[in-house]
Amino acid sequence: MSLDLSTLADGELAALSIARRDAAFAEIVRRHRDALYRLALASLADPDDALDVVQETFVAAHGALRRFDPARAMRPWLARIALNRCRDRLRRRRVRRILMPFGTADHPAELIADDAPGHDIVAADRQELARTMLAISKLPAAIREPILLRTIEGLSQSETADALGISEKAVETRLRRARDKLRQVLTTG
């Protein structure tokens, strides 16, 4: 009789993964990959980079499982790893733009897929969502990351603070600043 991994807590899966049960880590990946992809995509505005970040996140997490505290939630821990990977990619993009100013640097607006939906209302909603996600991706990391974790991924204020290594009050302040900045950008632009 085999163990149903889907019923286990993340901490238990981490312990089994450390004991070299590959199926346990596969369950961790299954549980968290979509949320990490959404987080990376919203942060980077590039689907390919987002996929790479998710893969890098799980590789790093697998190597660091012994440092994971099973008494805490896994998603904020993974989100912190993913956000660090996103920051690294964004830094590399800035360096490439500086070093190759006349190159073919991608503009985030060009990276948003144009689905050309048939219905006008759906098209308008998608346009507004794309416009909002582009505006979020342009926010400074200090206010972009809390809004992604709290609003897009639905982490609690405590989990967001834990993932970012800041206080809950700092999360609240940064969320307010992010919302104010988004409101300003979206109403004027």
Residue 111 to residue 124: CA distance in whole angstroms: 18
Instruction: Indicate the helix (H) or strand (E) that contains 173.
Output: helix 168-188
pLDDT digits over 35-53, tens only? 999 999 988 888 999 999 9
Q: What's the domain count of the chain?
A: 1
pLDDT digits over 115-124, tens only? 444 455 556 6
Q: How far is CA 181 from CA 136, 174, 177, 188, in A?
A: 9, 10, 6, 11
- Determine the angle formed by the axes of helices 168-188 and 157-164, rounding to 10 degrees: 100
Q: Is the pLDDT of residue 55 over 90?
A: yes
pLDDT digits over 70-84, tens only? 988 999 999 999 999
Sign (positive or negative) of CA dihedral 76, 81, 86, 91: positive
Computed over every residue of the chain, the mean pLDDT equals: 84
Six token digits for residue 12: 């238990």
Domain range for 85 = 5-188
At residue 131 the predicted structure's pLDDT band, cuts being 50, 70 and 90, is: confident
In terms of pLDDT, which residue wins out, 77 or 132?
Answer: 77
pTM over the 0.75 mark: no
Compute and round to an integer the Cα radius of gyration of the chain: 18
